[in-house]
Chains A and B, each alone.
Chain A
Amino acid sequence: MAPDEPTDDAPSSSPDPNTFLPPDEPVHLLDPDGTYHEHPDYPLDLDDDQLRELYRLMAVTRKVDREAINLQRQGQLGVYASLLGQEAAQVGGAYALDDGDWVFPSYREMGVAVTRGVDTGKLLHLFRGTWLSDHDPYEQQFALYSIPIGTQALHATGFAMGAGFDDNPIVTFAYFGDGATSEGDPHEAMNFAGVYDAPVVFFVQNNQWAISVPLSAQTAAPTLAHKAVGYGFPGVVCDGNDVLATYAVSRQAVARARAGHGPTLIEALTYRMEAHTTSDDPTRYRTREEEEEAAATDPIVRYRNFLKARDLWSEEFSDQVDEAAAAEATRMREEIYEAPHGDPLEVFEHVYVDPTGHFEGQRELLAAELAAGEESA
């Protein structure tokens, strides 16, 4: 581990290079009203087109997320986990990655998928139940959605270890939530990553709620980012509803990992504005007032104000974004709407590379049942 040298003695929002402790205040570049502040540790390195692109990605994300909820309400999906309110955390973080870098998502990462260019319709096959996934992870370096909480953090670490062994300058991003930090696997993943100096960034979206359990019942740590200290690498907390902040801290963590200096734990403070999933009922555990207060911190409204103040907003741009979002939502809907059931015999197809000796007669049994069903129909 080669900690970066401290830049000056003034209070800093960067993690302390000697203790790895997160800053006292979450990193933010935008006030809730969209006012921009220069940050000494996180200079803005995006041009106007890129600044607009961040908005477009967040707007598309919100649109497809809403469309997925609609699809569930219409009976097209069995369940869906919305990311409403977490657009800045997901888009900003993922925008800091280069092609070739890998993402290991949980099951609530539609904004990351949009940013990586993953076909969002294909992701929904998991929730529709046509198959358990349907995108090629090796195309956009986007691993499978992972439902067992936090388990994917180990895959991200192992993958990064492999890249490290090969001196392959790629970085992996492990996404998980505040609840996952109580599980064993993220702990083991961060410990391994520290030991092997693996080029992995642990990106925690602290959306305050693990289904019905608030963060206060999840941990006694001052912040989740403090946990990084125990693994020997820096932890940083940022305003997760400030897309420039999530981008900036991620960009720095990615650069650090790519340079061979090891992992970073990023805690993005945000809020799950929707229910845990479409099957959940948040009225049983949190107040309307709390939700309204959170809605006032909407990351997209904030960023729109920033673009307006910077003269990067126009009706024309707004229309373009709306069009792009509608087009993506339509494409997603067309992919998934009334997507037919798959071939039942496919359940035997992908279990093994070499299934010789497995399924003794079971495939034939199902085939016969299907044939009999067709005859009687």
Chain B
Amino acid sequence: MMTTLAQAINTALHDAMEADDRMLVFGEDVAELGGVFRVTDKLHERFGERVFNTPLAESGILGTAIGLAMYGYRPVVEMQFDGFSYPALEQFISHLAKMRNRSRGRIRLPVTVRIPYGGGIGAVEHHSESPETYWAHTAGLKVVSPATVADGYAMTRAAVESDDPIVVLEPKRRYWMKDDVELPLTTEPIHQAVVRRAGEDVTVVAYGPMVKTAMEAADAAEEEGWSLEVIDLRSLSPIDTDTLVESVEKTGRMIVVHEAAQTLGMGSEIAARVQERAFWHLEAPVLRATGFDTPYPPAMLEEFWLPSVDRILDRVEQSLSY
């Protein structure tokens, strides 16, 4: 059945709530409205008080989720937008990530935090950010981002089942992307990277919204006679280094693509790991096609700022020139 990413996540939340009566869904506007992107559409209607609106306070949402998890619930909370998740940083870093460690394993926090993230929808400022490294840099959290409709379902189910706190970054510009899928379904294990397209010349690593762009770049590269291998990273913490290394051992070249600013982005970590593990296989330095080291631009300029097929192909050409 033709299904959008948003619908797949919605169905996953529905099925997870059916499967576990201790699961709660809460956040701003998630009940009657179904969330500003309708990802929680009709869940309140179906599950009543287990799906509820909160006061407009992100630290409050995450902090009470921690208390509810300590009590024995399995909270799935929504931060309405990437740029509005920052008030919750202290609860993220000082408590959600650390409570199990601080308690010597006695406290378990099976909390899922869903965040619509990234740009490309012409939004007003603070609605298009890519804060993934804040979470990925924080020990104690797990971070994933689904890039396909099937993963929207399967990774959401897996995230809810995680007994560790996990951040799910939902690529908001792909919410309306459609695919023909039969739900329920399962996909590869949640923390495993997946080769979306096999190729010989250059490995392109992307996640979330940039997987589609990378796939388009691979199509365009064919016309140039370049064979790109596209890896969907899927999990930002932990990183499946083995799959990356295996690919670069074959191609000898790697481009990392993300919307987030370049400096200290996921590309930095991936480049470091790949050169540590596959130095003698590399024919060229690992290159990056990313957003710039500036604040996210106004909507009318975002198409020039975001990594595009052309920016990826330029890096591919540069890589091949070594």
Contact = CB atoms under 8 A, between A and B. Distances in A.
Given A148-B90, A192-B57, A158 B71 contact: yes
A345 interface: no
B20 interface: no
Contacts of B73: 162, 165
Interface in B99-120: 99-108
Interface residues of A, number: 42
A151 B91 contact: yes
B54 A192 contact: yes
Contact of A354 (B64, B164, B237): B164
Contact of A188 (B57, B65, B72, B235): B57
B99 A144 contact: yes
A65 B196 CA distance: 61
A148 to B, nearest CB: 5
Nearest to A149: B90
Interface string B25-69: 000000000000000000000000100001101011011111111
B57 to A, nearest CB: 4
Contacts of B106: 136-138
Contacts of B107: 137, 144
Nearest to B57: A188
Interface stretch (A31-39, A233-241, A278-286, A355-363): A355-363
A160 B67 contact: yes
A133 interface: yes
Contact of B104 (A134, A155, A172, A360): A134
A351 B100 contact: yes
Contact of B241 (A136, A191, A351, A360): A360
Interface in A153-175: 153-163, 165, 172
A185 interface: yes
B59 A188 contact: yes
A151 B90 contact: yes
B66 A155 contact: yes
B239 interface: yes
Contacts of B163: 353-354
Contact of B63 (A154, A352, A353): A154
A132 interface: yes
Nearest to A192: B60
Given A133-B103, A358-B238, A185 B68 contact: no
Nearest to B235: A357
Contacts of B71: 158-159, 162-163
A122 B62 CA distance: 28
Contact of A165 (B49, B95, B237): B49
B240 A158 contact: no
Nearest to A139: B106
A29 interface: no
Contacts of B87: 184
A54 interface: no
Interface residues of B, number: 48
Contacts of A124: none
Contacts of A356: 191, 238
A351 B49 contact: no
B100 A155 contact: no
A357 B63 contact: no
A353 B60 contact: no
A353 B69 CA distance: 14
A191 B60 contact: yes
Contact of A158 (B57, B67, B103): B67
Contacts of B63: 151, 153-155, 157-158, 185, 188-189
Contact of B64 (A136, A146, A158, A360): A158
Nearest to A191: B55
Given A151-B90, A352-B142, A157 B64 contact: yes
Contacts of A195: 55
Contacts of A351: 100-101, 139-140
B140 to A, nearest CB: 5
A115 to B, nearest CB: 21
B285 to A, nearest CB: 21
Contacts of B95: 146, 148, 151, 155
Given A133-B104, A350-B101, A159 B59 contact: no
A42 interface: no
Contacts of A349: 104-105
B64 A154 contact: yes
B94 interface: yes
Given A188-B60, A354-B164, A161 B68 contact: yes
B221 interface: no
A172 B64 CA distance: 13
A337 interface: no
Contacts of A188: 55, 57, 59-60, 63
B239 A185 contact: no
B195 interface: no
Given A132-B102, A351-B139, A154 B66 contact: yes
Given A154-B66, A188-B60, A360-B273, 7 more contacts: A154-B60, A158-B66, A158-B68, A163-B71, A188-B57, A192-B55, A351-B100
The 3 A-B residue pairs whose C-beta atoms are closest, nearest first, are A158-B67, A154-B63, A357-B238
9 contacts: A133-B104, A144-B99, A148-B95, A157-B67, A189-B64, A192-B54, A192-B55, A350-B105, A352-B142
